Amino acid sequence: MLRKLYDWVMGLAGSRHAPLMLCGVSFAESSFFPIPPDVMLAPMVLARPERAYVYAGLCTISSVLGGCLGYFIGYHLGDLGHWLLALMGHADGEEAFRAWFANWGLWVILIKGLTPIPYKLVTIAAGLAQFSFVTFLWASVVTRGARFFLTATLLKYFGPAVREEFEKRLTLYTVIGLTILVSGLVALKVLG
């Protein structure tokens, strides 16, 4: 079953509709969608390494535009922002987010934008905290661009060897990936 799913994802990653899907996922993930764009970016770069930087650029632009929507939701649609934060397990997080931005401001965006922590938390919280939009925008471009271009570069140059190894031990790496994902979610819940 894993092999069929893997083959389907790789086939989809090489399709002509993949860039549009990547843009959609990247945009939505930055404001309300739970799945990170890396799920699309990685197989697309593996399927077409010569387009790695095009995909990273599309991913960055879409993610930043989605981040602007998240910021807008937090800034102008506070009730929706609170509801989305509650959906992500941070119902009472507004004061904590305001304190983060008051104390560390730019560093919140730069650090969290590079990590697997859901970026939508940062975008909505930045709007709720009424953080400087100009600073939010350029920091988002820097941090999201760094993340996606680093991912694309690593996969472009090391991807074929990684892909070969991954395909040989698909089940093992799937279990490891799921374990890391679940552990990360548990850690977020405990720390959040």
Tell me the chain's radius of gyration from C-alpha atoms.
17
pLDDT of residue 138: 93
Compute the distance between CA of residue 164 and CA of residue 149 in angstroms, rounded to an integer: 22
pLDDT for the residue numbered 110: 75
Q: Give the pair of three-digit tokens for residue 113.
A: 């934008």
> Distance (Å, rounded) from C-alpha 125 to C-alpha 73?
9
What is the pLDDT at residue 93?
A: 63
The ranges of the chain with pLDDT < 50 are: none
pLDDT at 69: 94
Q: What is the pLDDT of residue 91?
A: 62
Distance CA 103, CA 11 (A): 46
Domain ranges of the chain: 2-191
